[in-house]
Every structure is written in C-alpha cells, then in structure tokens.
Amino acid sequence: MKKFKFPMRYVPISATILVFFIVYLIGIISFDNFGSPKVFLDLFVDNAYLGIAVIGTALVILTGGIDLSVGSIIAFTSILIAKMIATGSNALVAIALALAIGIAFGMLQGWLIHCFSLPPFLVTLAGMFFIRGCGFIVSEESIGIKNDPVFNFIQNDLTIKLGKGMNLRFIVIVYIVVLLAAIFFSQRTRSGRSIYAIGDNELAATLMGIPVGRTKIMTYTIAGFCSALAGVVYAVYLKAGNPLNCVGLEMDAIAAVVIGGTLLTGGVGYVFGSLFGVLVLGLIQTLIVFDGRINSWWTRIIVGLLVLAFIFMQNLITKISKSKSKSQ
Amino acid sequence: MNKFATVIMAAAAATLLVTGCSKSDSSKIKVGFSQVGAESDWRKASTESIKGEAEKRAIIELTFSDAQQKQENQIKAIRNFISKGVDVISFSPVVATGFEDVLKEAKEAEIPVVLFDRAVDVSEDGLYVSFIGSDFVEEGRRAGRWVVKNVGENANVAELVGTVGSAPAIDRKKGFEEIIANYPGIKIIKSQSGDFTRAKGKEVMESFLKSPEADQIQVLFAHNDDMALGAIQAIEEAGKKPGKDIIIISIDGVKTMFEQILAGKANCTVECNPLIGAQLFDVVEQIHAGKSVPSRIPSVEGVYDNVGGVNVGTDREPVVTKKITQEIVDSRKY
Amino acid sequence: MNKSSNKFRHLIWPLVSLALLLLFNAIFTDNFFKIEIKKQDSAQAVQSTAVPDDLPGAAGTAAAQAAAEEVEAAKQTVKESAGQQAVPEKKDDKGVSIFGYYLYGTPIDILNQGSKVMVLAIGMTLVIATGGIDISVGAVMAIAGAIAALLISMLDAGNCIGAGMGPAWYWIIPVAAALVLSTLAGFWNGMLVAGFGIQPMVATLVLMVAGRGVAQLITDGQIITFDNPGLVFLCNGHALFLPFSVWIVVAMYVIFGLLTRKTAFGLFIESVGNNERASRYAGIEARRIKWLTYVICGFCAGMAGLLAASNIKCADSNNAGLNLELDAILATVIGGTSMAGGRFFLSGSLVGAILIQTLTTTMYMKNVSPAIVAVPKAMVVIIVCLLQSPVFRAKVLSIFASKAAKGGVQ
C-alpha cells in the first residue's frame, strides 16, 4: 500500500467516482429496475441542462470566483425563446439571440467584477435578481412551444433510438460535446491553464505575465454562454419556457462542483469531475423517488452532508500536501 | 485510508435511508404520485388524503414524491416512475406547460396517466387518461357570482392574486373578471400578488390599506385562504372589521378559514377540494381493471359562507352555498 | 474634512438613495407619509400628522387638506364612540400597547416589515466584517420559527414541560428554545469556518441547503399556527407608540453597537477582516473572534425567524426567510460595509435594510408586480456598490480630472 503512490490531486475526483458507484450499487440492491440502462440514460437526459450550467460554474470557481446568476439566466433564456416563437419568430433566431444575450450578460458581469474589483458574489447576485426580473417582464406566465419546425426536428430527427423507451436525445449529445470541449479547453489550452494559475494565486499569475483581466472576463463570458446554452437545452427539454423555473439552481450547481472535487478557493479540480458531481446529485434524487416513502426533503439534507464531507476531504488534502511540501 | 472515511460515512448515511426497502410485490397496483410540494395547508391535506387512502387499500402500492414546487424535480420523478415500472402514474402539475415529452414517454411505455388538481397544456390528445380536480376558472366565477348576489352590483374590489404565472392564479382571476365584466359597477381597484402565502398576503394588504383608495375597498377577493388569513390580520390592525367593513371572499375552504367565517371575520370561501384520495384510487383501480373512465372528473365541491342558500352556480347547474356552523367546522379535517 | 463628517461619511450614499426614494413617494404616492395615532381598542383615528417639509407645494397642500378632513372625521367618531360603552378587550386582540396608543401608517409598516432584515443585517454585518459571509440565515430563520411553533403547540396541548406556567408566560420557552437552537446553528457555522478553516460561503451553504429540510422535518411539513399572546406580541404588539419589533431592532442595535464600539471586540473584528494573519501575530485570537461573529449571526437569524413567525402567527417552513439572506447581504453592502472585510457600519446596514423594504413597499403601492421588483433592486445594488468602489471612484475622478486639465489648457 505504501509503495503505490497515488497522486494526491486525483484523490477528490476518485472519491467522487467512488461515491457515484456506491450510490448506484445501493440503488441496484434496493430496487427493481434501478439497474436498467434507462435509469442511467435518464440521468443524462434529465440533468443535461444542469450539467452544462455546472461546466460554466466550475470554470468560474476554478478562477476563485463564483457565479450565482446561473438559474436565472436559464429561466430567462427559456422564456425568451418560448415568447419569441409564440410571437412568430424563427426558432433559430430566438436561440441565437438568447445565446448572444447570455454571452453579453456574462461579459458584463466579468467586466464589473474585474474592472471595478467588485466582489463576484455581489455582482452575480445582483445579476441573478436582474435577469430573473427581466424574465418576468418577457412573460409572467409559462409559455409552451408548440408545432415549431426546428424544435420538432430536434425532437424527432436528432434523437437516436436505442430501444424501447430509450432515446439518446440530442440534448445529451450537446452536453457531452460541451463537456469534452471544456475539458480540452481547461487542460490543453493556454487560456485554460491561465484559469488554474489565477485561481491558485492571482498575484503570482499577474507577476508571471498572465493576462488576468482578460482571462477572468473570458471565464465569466463562458459561464454566461454555458448558462444561456443550458437555457436553450432546457427549452428543448421541456418545449416550454417559464420565468419561475430553476430557482436556486445555482446552489445545486455549486454543490455539484464541490462534489465533483473542485476546490472552492479555486485553482484545484477538474471539469471532468463536474460530470460525476451532477450524476451523484441526480442519482440521489432518483433513489429517493424510487423509494417513494421518505420525505423528499431528505434529498436536500443528504446533498448538504455530501458537500460537507467533500469539503472536509479537500481540507485534509490541502493540509497534508502543505505539510509534505514543508517537510521536503 | 483516513481520507476515505468521510466518503464511507456519507455512503453509510445513504444506506441507512434505504434500509428496509423491499422489492415490490407484483400482485399489487403500483402507483407513482408526484405532488407539487407542501406549500400550503391545502396541499398538505391533499397529500395526507392520498397517502391515507393508499394505506387503506391493500391492493395499492404507492410511490410518493414531493417536487418541492419545482417542475424540474417533477419531470425527473415522472421519468423515474416510468423506469421503475409503475402501473399508473398520477401527478399534480407544477405548471401547465412542459410535460409533453415526458407524457409521450409514459404513453410509449403504456403507463396510463391520471392528472390531479391542475391540467396540462399539450398539443395532442390521449397523453393522459383522466383529469380529476377542480375547475379554477369556475371557482373564480363562483366567487364573482357570490359578490354580485351578496354585495350588489356596485362594489370596489381589492384582489390578492396568487403566485405570478401559476395556473390557479391566472384561472381564478379570469373567472372572477368574466363575471364582473357584466357589472360595470364592480371594479377591481387594487390587485397585487401575495404569492399564496400568509406573510405576503398580510404585507400586501397592509400596503393596500394605506393607499389613497384604502377607504373605498369594500370587498377583498383572495385567490386562496392563506392570503386571506394574512389579510384579515392586516385589516384588524388597521382598525377595520374584517367581514363587515371589508367583505372577504377567498378560495380553498380550509378549516382555519371556516373558523374565521364562523367568527364573522370573513364571509365566504369557495371550496377547492383537496380530499381526492378516494376518487383518485377508484379511478386507478378502474383503469387497472381495463374499464374506461371519463376524461374529466370534477371533484365534489361546495361553497361555504355566512349567509347560506345563495346560488353561485348557473341556473342550469345550481350550486347553493352552505352556511357555516360549528358542526361543519368540527367535521373539517384540514 | 473634519472628523465628525468623516464619521458619517459612509452613511451618505445609502441615506441619499433612501431620501430620493422617499421623495419619489412623497410626490407620486398619496398618503405615503400619513401617520395616524390609533388607540389600542379597535383603533379610532384620533389625529393625523406628519406632512414632511420637503413636500412640493401642491401635493403638500392637498395632503394637508386631506389630513385636516381626516381629523374632523376622527373627532366626530371619537365623540360618537365616547357615548357608547367601552367594549371589553379580547385577550388575543392585536394592537396591545403599553400606553394605549400607537402610530399607524406606511412608514411604520416599513419599519415593522423591515425589522426581520434589519435584525439579520446586524449579524450579517459582523460576519462580513471578518471577511466572511453567512448564506444560511434564511434557513436558520425557518428552523427557529418551526421549533417555536412546534413547542408552543405542544405547550398549548399541555404535553410539554413548563405548560404549568400558563399561556401568559410559557411562551418564553419556545422563544428561548428558538434562540438557543439558532445560536447553535451559528456555532456550527462558526465551527466549520473558524474551527476547520472552510471557506465561509461553502461552509454556510451546507446549512442553507440542509436547513430548510430540517425545518420541514420539525414541523412535519405542516404550517403550524398559534395564537399565544406573548409570541404574537413580538411582531404585532406595540410599545411606546411603535411596533414592538422596532424596539427589538433598537435593543439589538444598542447591544451589538456597544459591544463592538465600546469594547475592543469591534476593533478585533476589523483587524481580523483586514489581515487575519497579522492580527494573529498581534495576539488576537482570530479564530475565536470569527467564531463569535457566526454565533451572533445565528442568534440574529433566530430572532428574525421569531419575528417572521410572529408576524403571521404561524411557522411556514417553506416560505419563512426565503431569499432573505440575500436581502441581508444587500442591506449590509448598501450600508457601506466592505465585502472584503475590515470595516463595518451597523447603522449603515440598518439604513440599507430600510431602503430595501421601502423599495418593496413602494412597488406594492404602485401596483408593480413583485416579480419585477428584482430588476430595480439589482440596479440599485450595483449602483451603490459602484459608488462605494474605490476603483470606480478613482476612474470617474480621473475622467473629471482630465477634463478639468483640458479646460485649464484651453
């Protein structure tokens, strides 16, 4: 055991994957049909929008910041698309506009945070209020998207049938593509590495000549894009928009990032981990629905405990690696 | 190994929760029910009615899920019901839109769906077998008719609207306005959302009572009892007599509201019956036995006030109000 | 700049914003400033007062006229009612006041409804001053309300220790229990932050996520109503003309104001917020100071939870304190406390809380949908933050300076 050297930085992500399999195993042992591939596939279908939003949150957290506007942007985007389609616009135009607004909004938040050194928590909090209010201005009622050619095309022609009741939906493919792109971006590109450097030590990064301002604004812009894309996916998923949806989703996103093994102070973690963070959240929810007797509020409590456990583990690891570097 | 201790602890906690879950018995009818949440007394009463009735019937095996007022949770729950392989799915939609895909999936899996309380907005027929529940528009109309018959054809109304964008808020407003449109003397002079909660109902009513139009308010129409109960407190604090200075009419019919009406602090509540457990499982058993069921089953509902004998239905389908007595209050379960 | 103006400089921006908002209401909302004095029994209007000086002429005279009519009408009713026999007070009636009179009007409502956020903001200010944050206060409010309502219902039913004290006194038990429990919640947050060194936002996220679930379990998902006169008095009763809740705020402000400004505690908080390591080297128990601020914040949240429950005479675990943590943070920041820690202004936070509540009440009176309230709120926050940001000021100043320089050259 002592001879095998397991790199410390892989511990949190391995723990996440371990938790995922333990929860999955508990489900399979306890319930019929829990092990069916449909349950696994549904995890992706039902959490694709959350997953995409979590990618943006994860990148922002890696820089040491935070983004609370996620849920509101999703709600705003979905209602905007639904409203535009209901008033006769082309769906593609609506989607493009929604994405553009998401990007612009993310950029604005990043600009305020960087250029006026306002706390990210506060700016994105105000952003959250603002954009949700805008959603209500677009429409106070939920609007369904009916008989739209683009949405029907996505629904009917871009879905891969894998068997009875099992459909690999387009939104799942979108999620996986975005996830892979984000993994590549964060690990293999200069800007991606800059994010880690800034999150680890902003001052050091500045001194090293890394364009801190540009990278930070870029990260918030990407987060805005991810949230808007999550909103588009959400609109496709529901075929509807509702300004009331996704209240408090930002907290789920942060929880998923933490459970996915990313350190909240920034600089440590993998975008890949966020996938398992999202899946663990989804599995816990599925487990409680399958049981159907215990109070659903236990979902919240278990997620709270899991977050706590991961924070403790992260703390321990930081301390161990610090003491190691000292002893060396 | 120390570092894995926390993970194992978390896993142990999860295991604790599911211990004792046995695999299901195939001779039973498995029903998956997804409730909106536990946001009000009314909702709680409906949950208890469903759970209680399921326990009473040996043949029913209920899987219950609470969506915590979030549509995303509800859709996940319905998908999980499909995966779990329940025989009948029933749910009370959080909003009307956005359920089409998941309902299609249920149809593909040949699982009949019974809606309860609120309808869904879908573009094709046959996605659900039956809808049990109240007609929110009709509730609003009944409230409107009661005002016309008891207050007269001239009245200034303050309205406490439910959660912005929610189906009951939209429909109840629509129904009420439909009736008073015929009487130009009845005007809604104040209208604001109280979010279906007591706290907001009180806060908004306080602001109504301080507005320049405060003294003109003759009637308060609240979209649910909780808001009306909050408003009653605000009216009393303003030194007015609820039920006399301001006529109060609301919708739902919870016990606390009955008590207020009996005490003379409110005037009328249009019942929106949450106790549909028995009705629901009757339909479920019929469906399971292969019998056909009507696609729209109205729940049995009355209107209660402090006058009695007022017809708030139409001439063809009269609905006569019942005067609230101590016996009615005592027999109320929720 | 002399010393006294420096002392209140932080209050300028929030006060200016508040004044602007009030001015808007004075002009565009009739009756906004009308305050009546009401008597405790079924409350007759005795006198109406208060037309602020800054009212523009036309609106002012109109309001004054209306007020005068009001007084006439009130006098008449008083004369009439004097002839009648006094109706004996029911025990559970509201408006119980020590001297029998209380003020009634929109500004009073703002104070009463804003009391929850004001109490929260006091605790939040101290936490933020250490460079931390507590986002669990809303959930803690729900827990406090839930436990208080549960205990009072048990006491009413007579199956709890202390039921022998009678309803006039046993309300102390739930109040104490709620405060103890919420203080423990604060202790837990403090332990995670100061004891284990976890980032505050995340440490309190745990309780924020799990806390409302706990409250739900306490009340078994039900809305528990109560009518115990003691508990109801907290947010519905009146003392010395004002709602009792206002006096709670004043008491807490005085206690924590004295604690932070008349002892070294405040200095320690600022020192920890400025530079934790340096203050540790200087011999300040940084951990203990931080821990204590979270405990205080928990206590404040418990008090706010009691006020929220008392206001509507029931514990609604689902909605009590929902999103109020955000309001409390906003109030603190608007009041001039730096999110980075190191300086704090309790009075500023109170002004901030009043500003937020005034904004909300204005929206109600103007029939604006509460959903849209968020938009102006967000803009106010960003503007106030920008005004307080040294970077922003420097940039704006440099623009002015360069313009002035150009002007000079020409």
pLDDT tens digit sequence for C195-214: 888 888 878 888 887 888 88
Res. C232: pLDDT tops 50: yes
The beta-carbon neighbor of A240 closest among B3, B64, B97 is B97
Per-position DSSP letters for A12-77, written without gaps between them: HHHHHHHHHHHHHHHHHHHSTTTTSHHHHHHHHHHHHHHHHHHHHHHHHHHTT-----HHHHHHHH
pLDDT-derived band at C408 (thresholds 50, 70, 90) equals low
* Whether C212 and A130 lie within 8 Å, measured CB to CB: no
- Is residue B17 a part of any domain in this protein? no
The beta-carbon neighbor of C205 closest among A129, A251, A312 is A251
Distance CA B2, CA A14 (A): 14
Res. A310: pLDDT tops 90: no
- Is residue B109 a part of any domain in this protein? yes
CA distance C241 to chain A (A): 36
- Is residue B19 a part of any domain in this protein? no
pLDDT at position A314 is 80
* Whether A136 and C369 lie within 8 Å, measured CB to CB: yes
Distance CA C146, CA C161 (A): 18
- When divided into structural domains, chain B yields a total of 2
Comparing B128-132, C152-156, C235-239, C281-285, the range with the smallest average pLDDT is: C235-239
Report chain A residues whose CB lies below 8 A from the CB of C208. 251
- B98 residue type, one letter: G
Q: What is the ipTM of this complex?
A: 0.88
CA distance C133 to chain A (A): 10
Q: Residue holding tokens 């939870």? A: C305
Judgement on whether residues B173 and B316 belong to the same structural domain of the protein = yes
**A24-53 residues touching C, CB cutoff 8 A:** none
A259–B contact, CB cutoff 8 A: no
Mean pLDDT (chain C) is 79
Report chain B residues whose CB lies below 8 A from the CB of A302. 10, 13-14, 17
Res. B157: pLDDT tops 60: yes
Judgement on whether residues B89 and B140 belong to the same structural domain of the protein = no
* B303: helix, strand or coil: strand
Q: Which residues pair with B303 in a beta bridge?
A: B270
A neighbour chains, 3+ CB pairs within 8 Å:
B, C
DSSP B320: B
Report chain A residues whose CB lies below 8 A from the CB of B11. 19, 22-23, 26
Comparing A97-106, B283-292, C229-238, the range with the smallest average pLDDT is: C229-238
pLDDT-derived band at A162 (thresholds 50, 70, 90) equals confident
| Average pLDDT of span B70-92 | 92
Judgement on whether residues B88 and B170 belong to the same structural domain of the protein = no
User: How much of chain B, in percent, has pLDDT values that exceed 90?
Assistant: 43
Judgement on whether residues B201 and B255 belong to the same structural domain of the protein = yes
Res. C63: pLDDT tops 50: no
C87–B contact, CB cutoff 8 A: no
Res. B254: pLDDT tops 70: yes
The H-or-E segment that residue A168 falls in is strand A166-168
Comparing A301-310, B8-17, C314-323, the range with the smallest average pLDDT is: B8-17
| Average pLDDT of span B73-94 | 92
- Is residue B9 a part of any domain in this protein? no
The beta-carbon neighbor of C386 closest among A116, A121, A254 is A116
pLDDT tens digit sequence for B94-126: 888 889 889 988 998 899 999 988 888 887 888
Res. C60: pLDDT tops 50: no
Judgement on whether residues B213 and B326 belong to the same structural domain of the protein = yes
**A275-304 residues touching C, CB cutoff 8 A:** 295, 297-301, 303-304
Looking at B133-189, list the stretches that DSSP marks H as alpha helix, in order from N- to C-terminal side.
136-151, 167-180
pLDDT at position A204 is 92
CA distance A218 to chain B (A): 30
* Whether A33 and B15 lie within 8 Å, measured CB to CB: no
Report chain C residues whose CB lies below 8 A from the CB of A116. 386, 389, 391-392, 395
Q: Nearest-CA neighbor of A26 among A287, A276, A278, A277? A: A287
pLDDT-derived band at C316 (thresholds 50, 70, 90) equals confident
pLDDT at position B228 is 94
DSSP B216: G
A286–B contact, CB cutoff 8 A: yes
Comparing A250-259, C45-54, C92-101, C238-247, the range with the smallest average pLDDT is: C45-54
The beta-carbon neighbor of C30 closest among B40, B195, B212 is B212
* Whether A136 and C372 lie within 8 Å, measured CB to CB: yes
Judgement on whether residues B174 and B312 belong to the same structural domain of the protein = yes
Judgement on whether residues B194 and B53 belong to the same structural domain of the protein = no
The beta-carbon neighbor of C214 closest among A132, A255, A301 is A301
* Whether B14 and A287 lie within 8 Å, measured CB to CB: yes
User: How much of chain C, in percent, has pLDDT values that exceed 90?
Assistant: 29
Distance from CA of residue B109 to its chain's centroid? 29
pLDDT-derived band at B264 (thresholds 50, 70, 90) equals very high
Res. A6: pLDDT tops 80: no
Domains of chain A: 8-321 (1.10.3470)
Res. A115: pLDDT tops 60: yes
Res. C40: pLDDT tops 70: no
- Is residue B237 a part of any domain in this protein? yes
Report chain B residues whose CB lies below 8 A from the CB of C223. 40-41, 44, 198, 226
Report chain B residues whose CB lies below 8 A from the CB of A290. 63, 80, 84
Interface test with C, best of B50, B210, B236, B241 (most C CBs within 10 A): B210
Distance CA C151, CA A100 (A): 53
Report chain C residues whose CB lies below 8 A from the CB of B192. 364, 367, 369-370
Res. B62: pLDDT tops 80: yes
* Whether A19 and B7 lie within 8 Å, measured CB to CB: yes
Give residue ranges of B with CB < 8 Å to any C CB.
37-41, 44, 47, 69, 164-165, 190-193, 195, 197-200, 202-204, 206-208, 210-212, 214, 226, 230, 233, 236-239, 241, 256
Interface test with B, best of C92, C319, C360, C375 (most B CBs within 10 A): C319
Give the structural domain span for B161. 136-272+302-331
**CATH number, domain containing residue B294:** 3.40.50.2300
> β-strands C224-225, C314-315: how paired?
antiparallel
A258–C contact, CB cutoff 8 A: yes
Judgement on whether residues B317 and B209 belong to the same structural domain of the protein = yes
pLDDT tens digit sequence for C143-167: 999 999 999 988 888 777 777 777 7
> β-strands B219-222, B247-252: how paired?
parallel
pLDDT at position B18 is 47
Res. C43: pLDDT tops 60: no
- Is residue B191 a part of any domain in this protein? yes
Judgement on whether residues B168 and B309 belong to the same structural domain of the protein = yes
Judgement on whether residues B216 and B241 belong to the same structural domain of the protein = yes
- Is residue B307 a part of any domain in this protein? yes
Judgement on whether residues B101 and B223 belong to the same structural domain of the protein = no
**A195-234 residues touching C, CB cutoff 8 A:** none
CB atoms within 10 A of CB C91: 10
Q: Which residues pair with B193 in a beta bridge?
A: B161
pLDDT at position A96 is 96
A298–B contact, CB cutoff 8 A: yes
pLDDT-derived band at C3 (thresholds 50, 70, 90) equals very low
pLDDT-derived band at B161 (thresholds 50, 70, 90) equals very high
pLDDT at position A103 is 97
CA distance A120 to chain B (A): 27
C318–B contact, CB cutoff 8 A: yes
pLDDT tens digit sequence for A9-34: 788 888 889 999 999 999 999 888 88
* Whether A297 and C212 lie within 8 Å, measured CB to CB: yes
| Average pLDDT of span C37-48 | 50
B317, exposed or middle or buried, with CB in 10 Å at 0-12, 13-18, 19+?
exposed
Res. A262: pLDDT tops 70: yes
Per-position DSSP letters for B109-142, written without gaps between them: TT--EEEESS----SSTTS-SEEEE--HHHHHHH
CA distance C254 to chain B (A): 27
Judgement on whether residues B165 and B41 belong to the same structural domain of the protein = no
pLDDT at position A327 is 65
* Whether C207 and A304 lie within 8 Å, measured CB to CB: yes
A146–B contact, CB cutoff 8 A: yes
Distance CA B253, CA C79 (A): 40
* Whether A305 and C210 lie within 8 Å, measured CB to CB: yes
- Is residue B12 a part of any domain in this protein? no
pLDDT at position A328 is 57
Cβ proximity of B6 and A313 under 8 Å: yes
pLDDT-derived band at B7 (thresholds 50, 70, 90) equals very low
pLDDT-derived band at C99 (thresholds 50, 70, 90) equals low
The beta-carbon neighbor of B198 closest among C42, C314, C371 is C314
Res. B22: pLDDT tops 50: no
Res. C68: pLDDT tops 80: no
Report chain C residues whose CB lies below 8 A from the CB of A125. 326, 329-330, 381
Looking at chain A, list the stretches that DSSP marks H as alpha helix, in order from N- to C-terminal side.
11-30, 37-62, 70-86, 91-115, 120-138, 149-157, 170-188, 190-200, 202-207, 212-238, 249-259, 271-291, 297-327
